[in-house]
Amino acid sequence: MAWVILILSGVLETVWATALDASRNFSRLWPSLFFVGALILSMTGLSYAVTHIPLGTAYGVWVGIGAVGTAAYGMVVLHEPVTAARLVCLLLIIAGVVGLKVLH
């Protein structure tokens, strides 16, 4: 169960990061509130996960999911550049996250 919560918390990291961007420096109410809600849920899930999964593993997985998810969102929704180098870097992050899970 801790792994499921950790993965969901990583996805919520992507949500709060994109809401932070949409809040425009907290000048827009709803994206700002969405940011706060997603941040609280993401941190709560991470907090639970680290009671069952080693901190280094849990944090690495959480950050990796958030980083890859946010970068993918940027490329797909915000039309940020999609280059071979960026995709290779994202694949390396995914490989690291998988490695942390397998070696756990």
Q: Which residues does 1 contact at the CB level (< 8 Å), separation at least 6?
A: 52
Task: Count structural domains, the chain.
Answer: 1
pLDDT digit string (tens) for 24-50? 999 999 999 999 999 999 999 999 999
Task: Provide the residue range defining the domain that includes 16.
Answer: 2-103
104 pLDDT exceeds 80? Answer: no
**Tens of pLDDT along 42-71?**
999 999 999 999 999 999 999 999 999 999
Percent of the chain with pLDDT over 90: 95
pTM of the model: 0.92
8-state DSSP, 103: H
> What is the spatial distance between Cα 74 and Cα 77, in angstroms, rounded to a whole number?
6
Burial class (CB in 10 A: 0-12, 13-18, 19+), 92: exposed
